[in-house]
Amino acid sequence: METTHSTLSGLEPLLSIEELAEYLDVPVTTIRDWRTDGKGPCAIKVGGRVRFATSDVLTWLLRQREAEPGRGPSGG
């Protein structure tokens, strides 16, 4: 994923909703639905725009990992 943002040293990168959708290979509408349903990663609103801290995305992804092959995160 190519980004045109310059990252200041020491600040955590933030992803736009479009960048997160591209990274996860899902439509932007899916990310919006997940936010509405409380299922997606936590977001940060900056000037009315939604951004996602990479650490929040990684934490959320780890919670999505199967407990074992073929079983959901909670083992079910």
What dihedral angle (degrees, nearest 10) is formed by the CA atoms of 60, 25, 37, 41? 20
Q: pTM to 2 decimals?
A: 0.77
| Mean pLDDT value of segment 5-34 | 90
Residue at token pair 């509405």:
36
Q: Is 60 exposed, middle or buried (0-12, 13-18, 19+ CB in 10 A)?
A: middle
| Mean pLDDT value of segment 53-66 | 94
Q: Which helix (H) or strand (E) holds 74?
A: none
| Mean pLDDT value of segment 16-40 | 96
| Mean pLDDT value of segment 45-50 | 94
